[in-house]
Amino acid sequence: MVESAVVTIKDKSFKPFIEADKIQSRIVEISQEINRDFERNNPLFLSILNGSFMFAADLMKSISIDCEISFVKLASYQGTKSTGNVMTLIGLDAEIEDRHIVIIEDIVDTGKTLSELLPNLKRHRPESIRIASLILKPEALQHDIHVDYVGFEIPNDFIVGYGLDYDGLGRNLRDIYQLKS
């Protein structure tokens, strides 16, 4: 189904960008790669909330190998030092030592989130860590992050829908929309 109309969220207008069908077929392709790469590895997927909940759910439907999934959140708070925002990982209840981890992200923009998350996870000594992100903005990347499974590479414009929000709204949209300039 195609939602072809422009959507308005609060003060901004968004135009259709990636249709639901296209998202779904790309996710099936990614899941097939993961099925091949992690056969017999019993990977542990770590879905980074909130944005990745839809991608994680749809991805898992096409993962046919033995696997587990857990959900974590990065809480950002204002540090007391001049270093600014510090991000802490909350909700990591799974034992990740010696496990093959696949991080599920909605979008990698500057890469800051992952550059803080990865050292945090590595302290728990997983066997391997790979990253699956539905969206990558290559022009925005400022950190040395390699995304192993990329759904779509897009230009450096703001998007909403399919889990991604604008000020808390728009996560429920089945298509992805781009901010109208």
Interacting residues with ligand 5GP (CB under 6 A) = 51, 106-113, 158-160, 164-166
For every residue of 98-117, which 3-state class applies, written as one string? Answer: CCEEEEEEEEECCCHHHHHH
Handedness of CA 18, 156, 61, 174 (dihedral sign): negative
Which one of Mg ion, ligand 5GP, none is in contact with 108 (Cβ closer than 5 to 8 A by kind)?
A: ligand 5GP
Structure tokens at 52: 């990745």
In DSSP terms, 90 is beta-bridged to 73
Q: Output the smallest distance, CB 172 to Mg ion, in A.
A: 16
How far is Cα 112 from Cα 7, in angstroms, rounded to an integer?
29
Stretch that binds Mg ion, among 56-64, 104-112, 126-134, 152-160 (CB under 5 A): 104-112
Minimum Å gap between C-beta 158 and ligand 5GP is 4
Contact between 51 and Mg ion (CB under 5 A)? yes
Name the burial class of residue 59, with classes exposed (0-12), middle (13-18) and buried (19+) by CB atoms within 10 angstroms of its CB.
buried
Q: Does 175 bind Mg ion (CB under 5 A)?
A: no
Active-site residue, selected from the candidate residues 58, 106, 109, 175: 109
CB of 39 to Mg ion, least distance (A): 28
Active-site residue 167, yes or no?
no
123: amino acid identity, one letter:
R
Instruction: Look at residue 134 and give the partner it binds from ligand 5GP, Mg ion, none, a contact being a CB closer than 5 to 8 Å depending on partner kind.
Output: none
